[in-house]
Amino acid sequence: MTAMELVSHADELKQGASLLGIDLSSIQQQQLLAYLTLLNKWNKAYNLTAVRDPAEMVSRHLLDSLSVMSQAELGGARWLDVGSGGGMPGIPLAIMFPERNFTLLDSNGKKTRFLTQVKLELKLANVEVVHSRVEQFTPAQPFTDITSRAFSSLEDFANWTRHLSDSATRWLAMKGMQPDDELQALPADFQLERCLVLKVPGCQGQRHLLILRRTS
């Protein structure tokens, strides 16, 4: 990316964040743009995202991830991003909440290599990258919040991560259209706490955040 393109992306990021009610610090903005640069660079070889245009990545990936901030602020100290892929929403949230710990999990080795590089280059001490299938992941402690973005059906998301939770855990699933069929298929011990419509600057189409809790 050229210097002029970076300035343009910085403006788009700052304006979009402002529309979301987020006041980015200069360090947060620098880290988000450094992440964007790495995503664009590695995507050519590693196929991390179908989005090829960095300008589109600002809205489709950075601002989309930041659109859950109001709910993320209500979360706890230990986060798991399941099927993290290129790092959305885990990396942007880790940048915004440096005092919280984020585990980014993916079964694809290319993607976890990329995430490890992002952690190193951005010096994200609050990020741990795990190369594993979620069903086989056995951490020492449960997570307070478990996120996913276009990872799986809600039923699989709930079933595959149940062992990583306790009674206080929240699940935050980022979806396109409201998945009514998936909600009907939720396991019996899960319930929908809230369904929020996300307004993402620069993004067309519907975006929803579904917050789930266990009932037992």
Output the pLDDT for position 49. Answer: 77
- pLDDT attached to residue 51: 65
Partners of 103 in beta bridges: 80, 128
Q: Is 124 in contact with 99 (CB distance < 8 Å)?
A: no
Burial of 215 (0-12, 13-18, 19+ CB in 10 A): exposed
Which residue from 46, 49, 12 is spatially nearest to 32, judged by alpha carbons?
12
Question: For residue 10, what are the domain limits?
Answer: 3-214
Residue 50: predicted pLDDT: 67
- Specify the CATH number for the domain of residue 83: 3.40.50.150
Please tell me the pTM assigned to this model: 0.95
Cα 149 from Cα 35, distance rounded (Å): 18
Number of domains in the chain: 1
* The predicted structure's pLDDT at residue 191: 97
Kindly give the parts of the chain with pLDDT less than 70. Answer: 1, 48, 50-51, 54-55
**Which pLDDT value is given to residue 58?**
81
> Which pLDDT belongs to residue 204?
87
